[in-house]
Structure formats: structure tokens, C-alpha cells
Amino acid sequence: MTDQTDTRPFGFWTATALVIGGMIGAGIFVLPSQLAPFGWTGVAAWIAGGVGAIAISLVLGGIARARPDEPGLMAIVGEVLGPVAGVLVGWGAWVSYWCANAYIALTAARYASSFWPPLGSTGLRQALAASVIIAGLTGLNLIGLRAAGRFQVVTTALKLLPMAAVVLIVAWMVLSGGGAFSATPHPPFAAPSMFTATVLAFVAIVGFESASIAAERVRDPARNVPRATVIGVALTCMIYLVVCTGIDFALPLADVTASNAPIALFVGRFWGPWAGLAIAGFAVVSAVGCLNVWVMMQGEVPLGLARAGLIPAWIGRTTARDIAAVPLVLASSLSIALLLVASWRNGGAVMDFMLRLTAVSGLWVYVFACVVALRVGTHRILASASLLFLAAMMYGAGAEPFVLSVVLMLTALPLYFLNRGASVGAAISTATTGPR
């Protein structure tokens, strides 16, 4: 008999680490600069985005509790909404993962150049360093999910250390009277800017579906997936709120807005120049930890689709360690290709494409999940409210990423019809010749 720890190696803590690790990546190290111009509107945006994320996480947890025997969220979508919907949402998520991985790996490489400046001297060197990181994590995941899961717990713990440093400094400032927070003026709350600020905040929050997608790998998923998702989202949103608000309100607006490394700027301002290099190191760890989650998902999503019979079975063929090597290696290869294109051509345009596509493609997963919840009758009120929230986020993100995400999702249809044609052909052959 196979030990459950082999087929389901992830317990509650590892599942929670997947959720937190998938959310806290490279974005938190630059986000304070982006939200600083919004002032108090940014604070409200974090609260609104966090509430929306927790509502969606409760919906995801309800789905996992209602269908604990299904091999993950993508398979549930296919079962409840039909195979076409399952393929589209799964493929859209897969595309968003390898696009995001290129950006995350490049961020890790750029921060690593703080320790060895020649690494960041050219775009090609940055791309090659990022490619090495992707290749290394792909190899780690090919070794086995247990090794990747242990690595995730370690990197999640390490990536929280710089966040803890900011929280400690903010707490000290509050206990000291909070004078620094009022030393420089910050923009007041402005309702017209709330929509844009919330979109920006929520784009940084997305990625909390990791445990739901990998439910087949989680022990007692009906209990652990909902708890891990909700707790992971709540903790991460609180960290984001304290870190970003503390930095934005403690430093002059112009300094934060102009900084490429606002957390390093903040900690260095209070603890000395040595902190800049320390934060750069933690930024690399954070990005690599986040990248590990999405490299893992590159194999898990197509594997779930293949096992559900939605795409050809050969795509989900696993190794002796139960790893779907084909989609995992293919996705990492596409990430590396994006990096090389970005280094040789218009890197800024490619990077913009990756970020916006990743954001909207991630939202589609939640849209389909909410529709599933309505169909199976779990958390219907929350699911309805979440759909309205997601529609607002997509509208705020703009038409271009929306159209691009739809087009790339539709590229999955040839795979679906190829698989369906092969199944029909096999059925006709069996009916004609009889079973062999």
C-alpha cells in the first residue's frame, strides 16, 4: 500500500507556505513606491483588496470542502462547468505562471547584482542569470514534490524576515509617539483614485490559489486547504498593509516614489547602510521562494487537466516520482525564451506584457471558481459578491490585458479537440473491431 505521505506530501503548514509563498514574491519589494502617491487612498485600497481576497479564499475553501476527492481546482471546474471551461481556465493559469516566472526570476537576478554588479551590467547577463535560477528550480521540482515542499517552507520563513524588520521599526516608531508619520504630508483619501489603487493592490495579492490547485497533494484537503488558504491570505494582507503603509508614511513621498528598493531604503534609513545588502539578499530569497511555487504549479495544473481527461494523457505522463515532467520543462523553457527575447529586443514591452497578462489571467481562475461555487451551492452570497469585485478589477486593469488573456486561453481549444477527436476515434474503432 502506498504511504499517503508519498502521494499527498503536504500537510497544513506546507499548504499554508504554498499560499503565502505564492503571494509574497518580488512585488512587495517595489510595491510601496507604486502606492506611495495614493497616500491614504492606498491604505483603503489594501483593506478593500484584502477583504476581496479573503472572500474569494473562503469560496475556494468551500469548493475544496465540497469536492475533497477531486484532483484540484482545475479538475473541479471541468467537472462542474464542463470540459471546455476546465481546459480554458487551466490553460490560462498555466500561461500566467510561466509568464510570471520570467518576471520573478529576473527580479531575483537584478537584486543579486547588488552583491556582484557585473551580473546586472547588461540585459543579457540578467536574463542568463534568471534562466539559471529557473533551470535550478525546475531541477529541484523534478527531484520530487517533497523536496520542493521543504524548500518552500524554508524560503517562506526566510522571506518573512525583512517584513518582520519593517514591522519592528514601525512598531518602535508608533511606541515612540509616531512623530515620523506626520513629519511629511501625504495625499488624503480621494474617492476617484480608490478604484485604480485597489486594482494595483489586488494585482499584488493574486496567487493565493496554490493550495486549491494542488489539493491532490494535500493531506485531508477538505480541512487543510480551506484553513491554509484563508489563514495564508489574511496573514499576507496584514503584512502588506503594515509594511507598505509604514514605509509610505514614515519616509518623504518623493524619496519613496523615486526608490527602486523602498524596503531597503526604509530599513537602511533606520539601521544603517549595511541593511541595504541584507534586504537585497532577502529579496532574492523571496523571489526564489515565490518562483518555486509557480514552477511547481507549471506541472500540477496540466497534470490535473490530463487526469481529468480534458487534455491528451501524454501531457500528464509522470515520472517515477509522480512528476509531470513534460509541462514542467516546457513551461520553464518558455519562461527562459521570454527572458532572452526581453534581453535582445524591447525588454520593457515584453516585461509589460508579462505583468499585465499574469494579472488578468490570474483573475480568470477566481472567476471560474466563483461560478463553480454558485453551481454546487457553496458560499453563494460570497461567490456573487466576489464575481462583482473581480469584474471591477478586470475593468480597472484595462482592455488590452483582458483581450490578451482571452486569446491565450483560446489557444487551449486545439488541444481539447485533439483529445476529444482521439477519444471518439478510439470509441469508433472499438465499436467496429471489438475489444482486443
Given a cut of 70, the residues of the chain with pLDDT beneath it are 1-9, 21-22, 25-26, 68-72, 144-159, 178-184, 210-216, 260, 321, 345-356, 421-436
Q: How far is CA 29 from CA 59, 104, 306, in A?
A: 29, 12, 36
Q: For 7-415, which CATH class?
A: mainly alpha
Cell reading at 329: 520543462
d(CA 73, CA 51): 22
pLDDT for the residue numbered 427: 35
- CA-CA-CA-CA dihedral for 66, 68, 70, 72, to nearest 10: 90
* Domain layout of the chain by residue ranges: 7-415
User: Residue 339 corresponds to which amino acid?
Assistant: L
Q: State the Cα–Cα distance between residues 301 and 215, nearest whole angstrom.
A: 11
Q: Which helix (H) or strand (E) holds 365?
A: helix 347-376
Q: Which helix (H) or strand (E) holds 412?
A: none
For residue 423 the three cell numbers come to: 477519444
> What's residue 260's pLDDT?
64
Reported as a single tens digit per residue, the pLDDT across 220-267 is 777 777 788 888 888 888 888 888 888 888 888 888 887 767 888 888
pLDDT of residue 117: 79
What 3-state DSSP class applies to 319? coil
99 CA to centre of own chain? 11
Q: How far is CA 340 from CA 134, 155, 285, 306, 335, in A?
A: 13, 27, 23, 30, 9
Element (H, E) at 196: helix 191-205
